[in-house]
Structure 1
Amino acid sequence: MTAPSTHSASPADDGPKASNMRSLSRAMEVFAELQRAERPQRLSDLARTCGMSLPTTLRILRVLQDFGMVSQTDKSYRIGPAVLPAARSYLENDPLVVAARPVLQQVASQTGQTASLYTRLGFERILVARVDGESPLRYDLPLGKRLPLTVGAAGKILVASASEEELQQVVAAAIAAGHESSAFTVKELRSRLPEAGVDYAYSADERATGVLSVAVAVPNRSGQPSESIALTSPVETATEPALKAAVPELRRAANRLSELLEGSVY
């Protein structure tokens, strides 16, 4: 975590540079919202969701369009083709993804289950790598999809040791993103998390019907996990006891990945 800056604000800090940073931050908010959306979004919907005026949102969209980050059809906007080269570069060069591939292949081969790696992004998680098991899953989960931390074993294990303040933020973010209802509470979230002393999370029919999953966190130097490895299976080919019996293999995989990442930014 970056230490708070001790630099005193100068008049220049409130000038063009600060204004440019606010504009960049707003543009990233709009871009992130388009990533979350399951379908193209209208200008008015984006403006309302992001809490911006229509003119401001439109200006941002036009700049993103100029760079190919956003495409427009009729009156709706969606992610543009310029994200593909960026995604390719990430998948080919990111230390986490490169190190994870052989680890996931090994654990999938040993267990016969689908092995997946997730990384935390703010108050959501993203699937960054996957190796299919012997039995295909009932749903297609593409790389890069934003998912909640509040459901699914891979999400819950990432907040299992979080503070009360952070859990409140997780709940608020899940409600704001539409992952949970407005009645969702920290107490309900805690009831979903592993009990004290348990280092894995389990889920059944939480994010997708007919799917079982177990996950462990990948250790890192900060002590607060930002990645998790999960094994997932259709209910027809696995049981809760059988999936939990694979936790030792998951632990070894997570520790191996942590070792491979030593000395990197992770």
Structure 2
Amino acid sequence: MPAESSSTMRSLDRAFDVLGVLEDSRQPLRLSEVARRAGLHVATAQRILNVLVDRGYAAKEDTGYTAGPAALATAHAFLVTNRLSQVALPVLQELAATTHLAASLYVRVGSARVLIARVEGRNPLRYQLPIGEKLPLHLGAGKALAAWLPEPELDTFIKETAPFTRISGEQITADELTADLRRVREDGYALSLSERVLGVAAVSAPISTPDEVLGALSVTGSSTELTADDHPHLISEVRRAADAIAARCP
């Protein structure tokens, strides 16, 4: 690769690193903090931020830098053109009506999952989960995506993730995470209780074609709504709905 092309690609990678830092932050960040989290020299981070601010992908406030409004336009373009979210919506609506639980659709982005569609159930959850929210792969519905990672990528993911502690206080080792994901892959679904949010249970399944995993479908409710007696029926409903979505995707 020519030196100029290599330099351009390196600059592009760094710009996406800075964007990722801004996406993951819940508050404005000082220049030095952006540089530290992105692993860049302060001067390099400043040059990138200047371009991102000019293009609207970053914004500068008195207290620091945040993600910019142009990201919303990009997200909107994705939602109105993405085939998966379009075909999934009626299935999500039917699943929420049938189970009375919140039905959600996630796709994997790197080592995270992103919510791209959601239909509330009969009793909305006590916490808000907006479209576009990035959540971990090793908890809840994320396991229905992580379990199908290619082996080398899966090994790296487990090493970088474990050990960790679930919101319930349960500590999970790398071996336990490996066994959990292997079980998800063998069973074709993930069942979680108080993993990311206390008192919240979820049943999730991959949306799979013969060539790839397109996303994950999940129903979520309080542990009082989603009891052990309900699990077989909910697992069947979620897997059926996931297969219906996959069948509608070319």
TM exceeds 0.5?
A: yes
Q: What per-residue deviation string (whole Å, max 9, x for no partner) do you get for residues 118-171 of structure 1?
A: 00111111001000000111211111111111111x111212244553233213
CA change 1:243–1:259 in 2 (3 A) is same
Instruction: State whether structure 2 residue 3 is matched by structure 1 residue 24.
Output: no
Matches within 5 A, 1:65-76: 65-76=53-64
Instruction: State whether structure 2 residue 174 is matched by structure 1 residue 186.
Output: yes
Q: Quick one: distance in 2 between partners of 1:108 and 1:134?
A: 8
| Secondary structure class of the residue paired with 1:144 | coil
Instruction: State whether structure 2 residue 107 is matched by structure 1 residue 119.
Output: yes
Offset at residue 35 of structure 1 (A):
0.8
Aligned counterpart for 1:155 among listed residues 128, 142, 163: 142
Q: Quick one: distance in 2 between partners of 1:68 and 1:174?
A: 33
| Secondary structure class of the residue paired with 1:197 | helix
Instruction: State whether structure 2 residue 194 is matched by structure 1 residue 205.
Output: yes
CA change 1:33–1:240 in 2 (3 A) is farther
RMSD value, Cα: 2.2
Q: Quick one: distance in 1 between partners of 2:245 and 2:45?
A: 41
Instruction: State whether structure 2 residue 81 is matched by structure 1 residue 96.
Output: no
Matches within 5 A, 1:207-246: 207-223=196-212, 225-246=213-234
Aligned counterpart for 1:131 among listed residues 119, 124, 138: 119
Q: Quick one: distance in 2 between partners of 1:124 and 1:213?
A: 17
| 2:28 and 2:63 in contact (8 A); partners too | no
Q: Which has the higher helix share?
A: 2
Q: Quick one: distance in 2 between partners of 1:187 and 1:121?
A: 24
TM-score when normalising by structure 1: 0.84
Aligned counterpart for 2:50 among listed residues 52, 56, 62: 62
Unaligned runs of 5+ residues in structure 2 are: none
Offset at residue 70 of structure 1 (A):
0.4
Q: For residue 252 of structure 1, what is the amino acid of its counterpart?
A: R
Q: Quick one: distance in 2 between partners of 1:185 and 1:213?
A: 21
Q: For residue 113 of structure 2, what is the amino acid of its counterpart?
A: R
Offset at residue 193 of structure 1 (A):
2.9
| Secondary structure class of the residue paired with 1:52 | coil
Unaligned runs of 5+ residues in structure 1 are: 1-12
| Secondary structure class of the residue paired with 2:224 | coil
Q: For residue 77 of structure 1, what is the amino acid of its counterpart?
A: Y
| 1:212 and 1:240 in contact (8 A); partners too | no
Alignment correspondent of 1:5: none
Offset at residue 221 of structure 1 (A):
2.9
Q: Quick one: distance in 2 between partners of 1:149 and 1:228?
A: 11
CA change 1:163–1:221 in 2 (3 A) is closer
| Secondary structure class of the residue paired with 1:59 | helix
TM-score when normalising by structure 2: 0.89
Alignment correspondent of 2:22: 34
| 1:149 and 1:170 in contact (8 A); partners too | no
